[in-house]
């Protein structure tokens, strides 16, 4: 965003630098390139800890009550630039207020970089994010996954679930609240024998959901009525947080590996959903990953699988390779 105005006679004493954020963290710097403050640059990183947070930066002149502010509020999905000018009494200047606003989808847990700059009578405001996020909320078509559950085949197309017998007869069907990018089933040996589990990757929720499958009196498996367990605490870059989880895989030791595409890493959880560890970052070196830019959801691609000995295989699509990791 950018607007230009003639500020002659009102920029000599810019001394009040303000940074404020509710329910989050703030860190910023202010610099000036000459003693008259005819040129300045104010920058800050803000991190929101709740959707209802709000934060911004501003700079003002004590002499003539001029004030510039740039604010961001995740709750109303807007970024705003504001200028207020209250001239000194008797100056003959006219008081002015100007405001610009743009739609911007911001999420808690993501660090945003705010900047205000003034030079040659022109004010510039910038907002930068470490990730590219698609603001189009339309459903994503085309995700299809197939998994075996006992003697049944589970086919998930978008948000539609179908179970088929070995003869190809559909035995049941249901619908998910959101589209699933991947479906996995696995068995867990317990005191009462083997139990079948099923999980789905849901990028729109930035989480992985899983639950035990239901078994009828005649021994047939069916889709669970709901998912009681989940991996991921929401969108973000901290441990447990995810950005567009695209794939996951259970290991023979009960650990679950999640391909966190937007953060270019693999996160590891135990069977009950407790976070254990992670590795990876954006890059092309050993242990680095490139799962896509995320300019649109279709840009993300990748998969993770675990073999019977616990070795982890990651399809590092952006780097055109498959990386193998020891248990």
Q: What DSSP string runs through 142-165?
A: --EEEEEETTEEEEEETTEEEEE-
SS3 state of residue 178: coil
Among 113-117, 123-127, 196-200, 257-261, the range with the most confident prediction by mean pLDDT is 257-261
Instruction: Write down the residue that tokens 């990757």 correspond to.
Output: 201
Q: Is the pLDDT assigned to residue 257 strictly greater than 90?
A: yes
Rg of the chain (C-alpha set): 26
pLDDT at 300 over 60: yes
Average pLDDT over residues 257-279: 95
Rounded CA-CA distance 71/80 in Å is 5
**pLDDT classification of 118: cutoffs 50, 70, 90:** confident
Mean pLDDT of 301-326: 95
Provide the pLDDT for residue 16: 41
The chain-wide mean pLDDT, for the chain, equals 79
pLDDT for position 15: 39
Confidence category of residue 131, pLDDT binned at 50, 70, 90: low
Signed CA dihedral, 135, 126, 94, 16: sign only: positive
Q: Is the pLDDT of residue 314 over 80?
A: yes
User: For 3-14, what is each residue's pLDDT tens digit?
Assistant: 333 333 333 344
CB neighbours (10 Å) of residue 237? 17
């Amino acid at each position: 965003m950018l607007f230009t105005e003639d500020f002659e006679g009102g920029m000599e004493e810019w001394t009040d630098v303000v940074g404020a954020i509710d329910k989050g963290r703030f860190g910023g710097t202010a610099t000036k390139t000459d003693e008259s403050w005819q040129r300045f640059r104010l920058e800050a990183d803000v991190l929101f800890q709740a959707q209802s947070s709000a934060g911004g930066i501003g700079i003002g002149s004590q002499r003539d009550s001029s004030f510039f502010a740039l604010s961001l509020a995740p709750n109303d999905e807007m970024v705003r630039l504001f200028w207020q000018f209250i001239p000194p009494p008797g100056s003959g200047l006219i008081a002015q207020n100007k405001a610009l606003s743009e739609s911007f989808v911001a999420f808690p847990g993501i660090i945003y970089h705010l900047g205000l700059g003034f030079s040659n009578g022109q004010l510039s405001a910038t907002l930068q994010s470490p990730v590219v996020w698609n603001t189009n909320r339309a459903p994503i078509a085309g995700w299809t996954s197939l998994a075996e559950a006992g003697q049944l085949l589970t086919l998930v197309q978008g948000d539609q679930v179908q179970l088929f017998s070995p003869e190809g007869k559909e035995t049941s069907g249901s619908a998910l609240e959101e589209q699933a990018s991947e479906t996995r089933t696995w068995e867990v040996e317990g005191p009462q024998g083997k139990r079948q589990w099923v999980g789905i990757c849901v990028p729109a929720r930035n989480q992985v959901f899983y639950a035990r499958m239901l078994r009828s009196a005649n021994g047939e498996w069916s889709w669970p009525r709901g998912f009681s367990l989940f991996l991921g605490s929401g969108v973000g870059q901290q441990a447990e947080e995810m950005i567009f989880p695209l794939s996951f895989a259970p290991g023979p030791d009960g650990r679950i590996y999640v391909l966190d595409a937007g953060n270019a890493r693999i996160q590891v959880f135990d069977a009950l959903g407790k976070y254990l560890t992670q590795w990876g970052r954006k890059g092309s070196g050993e242990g680095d990953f490139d799962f896509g830019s995320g300019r649109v959801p279709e840009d993300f691609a990748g998969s993770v699988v675990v073999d019977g000995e616990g070795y982890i295989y990651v399809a590092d699509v952006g780097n055109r390779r498959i990386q193998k990791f020891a248990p």
